[in-house]
Every structure is written in structure tokens, then in C-alpha cells.
Structure 1
């Protein structure tokens, strides 16, 4: 029987998020706080991998 391989690491990805009809107070929050902007990005917004960090770990399971 084949084995399961798990690769784990970090990657830089490109993303794009379009937000329409955003109220002025939310716009101000997004402009002033980076954490608020980061919270808006979901998996659906990810476009492609820019690069993968050199330290990719591997685990092999029976």
C-alpha cells in the first residue's frame, strides 16, 4: 500500500479582493488599520503562489 506524504511550509501568495458599497466608517477603519485589512482576505481571494520558502518540511506516514 502507498504512503501518505505531508508537506508543510510557508509561501507568498498574490491576492485580490474587491469590496463594493463599503460605508465610510468601514473605509476609514481599513485605511487606518492594517489588521483590519488583513482580516478581509479569505481563501477565495488567493490567486497564485509567488514563491515557496526554502524550508519545506516533509512527513511520511505509513
Structure 2
């Protein structure tokens, strides 16, 4: 089983130099919804994960870690 690795996503965002508001706009979502994904209050939809990976120039796999 895999779970989202929010710390890794935050790290990738920081490395990209992109602002969260800009990312939310590019993902065609509100900053509130984007923050909810990062806080794990709501699941990150697969299509948005793919779009986010494209923006951050990484793979969707980079957002997840294997649960122990």
C-alpha cells in the first residue's frame, strides 16, 4: 500500500521555485483546495497529480511512499 508523501511534495514545490497560488491556478483549482490536498484533508485526484508532476518536472511516483 502507498500513501502520499506531503513532505516530498512540499520539497519539490520549493525546489521548483513556483508559488502555491501559481500552481493552484495552473491546476485550475482554488488555493484552498490545493492546500487541502497538501494537508491530506481531501485526496489528490489522479489527473491533478499528473498535472502537478508535469509542473514540478517530476514523476507522480515521487509523490508517494510505501507504507510499512
Q: TM-score range by the shorter chain?
A: under 0.3
TM-score by length of 1: 0.26
Query: Higher strand share goes to which structure?
Result: 1
TM-score by length of 2: 0.24
Structure with the larger RCO, 1 or 2 (CA within 8 Å, 6+ apart): 1
Query: Higher helix share goes to which structure?
Result: 2
Query: Which has more radius of gyration?
Result: 1
